[in-house]
Structure 1
């Protein structure tokens, strides 16, 4: 069996495949590791046939939809998943076939309603249902401590104690455990009475994951993350350095329109000399009256360089093919000691 484990911070994802048929599945892929996954598949000479999320993730961004677009293969989740882009929905007791491998599904709600575990030969991919030394939390959307108790004590923990536990998260550098080890040493599994287990889960008082709202939004809907929007915008616009803009401002060149896309208050507190104000939120509505000549060279700037990148990309989409963005923002401009003018537009 082809097997690769990829750690991204505390997130764990897995490539499993059949050497004879060269068919593989990717389990719980993370968006920043796409090139890594493709490289691993190429190195092993396998083709990724299935992209699997064990549940709707709330703490990182899944790569399943983007990889599905690139590879033209289905996204696989439990049938309770709310994501509209899931093409293959599995139920308890069903399996996926990868050559000689069989990926058996165990529906294990609790962390989320759509949580499932996958057994492949001697390994159990537990998602966030069972972690090494812990369990998945139950205080996020669709979490249910009663359901988690049943999933653990009436399903997962009744499997072969020698099965290797491969979770979707581990923050201590551990690669796997076993069912037997978890039964013996996992503190949460020592609460074996339903009431005490549920009470424990309801009083963990854990902090919310970073980007929880954005992660749930994108993983449930297939929408784009802010990072992806910025990356896509940055890939289609050129940039101008702070020093180059300073030189052009000092030379008094009039072939460059400097467009400050911040709000008025920020602009009036200090802007690049000669810059025009056109807030990003009004760009599409005012562009025809404020920028009547689409052949002009336009440089957008903002406070940190992110909004100006989006603005330059929008301008290019609207036909301003000479739009560029400032590499950096007004914060970097001020810190460099470059000239700033306060007050309203001239």
Structure 2
């Protein structure tokens, strides 16, 4: 088995492949690492056939659909998932065949109703069901402490103690454990009585993940994250530096339009000299009235440099082929000591 572990903060994802047939699967991929998964597969001569989420993630953005679109791979999840863009829905006891490598499905609801683990040769990919020194929480949507107890003590912990454990998260720099080590030292598994375990899990009082609403929305619907939209926009437009823009503004270039896409209140508090106000929310409706000459060099400006990137991409799609975005925003402009008008 060809095996690569990719860490992104506390998120752990995996590329597994069959060296003989060159088929591969990616398990619990994260959006910021798409190019890395593809590069690792190419380096090892693998073709990604499947992208698998062990459950619906609430704390990071799944890259299953992104990878599937670029590789023609199939998205795999448990049959009970509420996610929309799933090509293969699997059940307990099913196998995902990756060349001569077999991924055995264990349905392990508890962290979420669609949680599952995957056994492959000498290891098990436990998702958020079993972590190193912990377990997945049960206070997120579709979580159930009783189901988690049954999944752990009735199924997962009955596997070979020598099996290597590779979870979907670890925040302490650890790469793996074993079933035996977790039984011996995992403090949450010390609660072997069902009622005591449920009581413990129901009273952890953990804080909510930072991006839970956006993560659940995008992972369930297959929609785009804000970061994806910004990345796609940034790939469509060039940028101009603050120093270059200041030089051009002070030189009074006649074909230059500095377009401030913030709201009127922010614009009034301070803007680049001569900047024209056109809030991003009104861009498509007012662009023909406000920008009648599509040959002008338009520089979009916002507070942090994000909305202006989206605005410049929109302008280019509408035919303003010289539209660019300011690299940075008004916040960086002010911090650099560049002049503003109010």
Normalising by structure 1, report the TM-score. 0.96
Aligned residues: 342
User: Which residue is 2:9 aligned to?
Assistant: 9
User: How big is the shift at 1:148?
Assistant: 0.6
Alignment partner of 2:36: what SS? helix
Alignment partner of 2:244: what SS? helix
Alignment partner of 2:281: what SS? helix
Alignment partner of 1:169: what SS? coil
Output the CA distance in 2 between the equivalents of 1:81 and 1:229. 25
Output the CA distance in 2 between the equivalents of 1:173 and 1:336. 37
User: Which residue is 2:322 aligned to?
Assistant: 322
User: Which residue is 1:255 aligned to?
Assistant: 255
Output the CA distance in 2 between the equivalents of 1:244 and 1:39. 35
Output the CA distance in 2 between the equivalents of 1:106 and 1:57. 18
What stretches of structure 2 of length at least 5 have no aligned partner? none
Output the CA distance in 2 between the equivalents of 1:145 and 1:30. 26
User: How big is the shift at 1:82?
Assistant: 1.3
Output the CA distance in 2 between the equivalents of 1:43 and 1:295. 44
Output the CA distance in 2 between the equivalents of 1:184 and 1:240. 58
Single out whichever of 29-38 and 225-234 deviates more from structure 2.
29-38
What stretches of structure 1 of length at least 5 have no aligned partner? none
User: How big is the shift at 1:320?
Assistant: 1.2
User: Which residue is 2:84 aligned to?
Assistant: 84
User: How big is the shift at 1:134?
Assistant: 0.3
User: How big is the shift at 1:335?
Assistant: 1.9
Alignment partner of 1:325: what SS? strand
Output the CA distance in 1 between the equivalents of 2:314 and 2:63. 25
Single out whichever of 250-259 and 265-274 deviates more from structure 2.
250-259
Single out whichever of 62-71 and 177-186 deviates more from structure 2.
177-186
Alignment partner of 1:333: what SS? helix
Output the CA distance in 1 between the equivalents of 2:19 and 2:321. 49
Q: Deviations over 1:78-119 (max 9, x none)?
A: 011111111011011111112322111111111011100011
Single out whichever of 301-310 and 243-252 deviates more from structure 2.
243-252
1:170 aligns with 2:175: no
User: Which residue is 2:109 aligned to?
Assistant: 109
Q: Deviations over 1:48-81 (max 9, x none)?
A: 1111110111111111110000000101110111
CA RMSD of aligned residues (A): 1.2
User: Which residue is 1:309 aligned to?
Assistant: 309
Output the CA distance in 2 between the equivalents of 1:320 and 1:41. 39
Output the CA distance in 1 between the equivalents of 2:187 and 2:302. 50
Normalising by structure 2, report the TM-score. 0.97
Q: Deviations over 1:238-264 (max 9, x none)?
A: 112212221222222221111111111
User: How big is the shift at 1:336?
Assistant: 2.1
User: Which residue is 2:281 aligned to?
Assistant: 281
Alignment partner of 2:204: what SS? coil
Distance 1:165 1:281, change over 3 A: same
User: How big is the shift at 1:26?
Assistant: 1.0
Alignment partner of 2:41: what SS? helix
Alignment partner of 2:259: what SS? strand
Segments of 4+ moved more than 4 angstroms: none
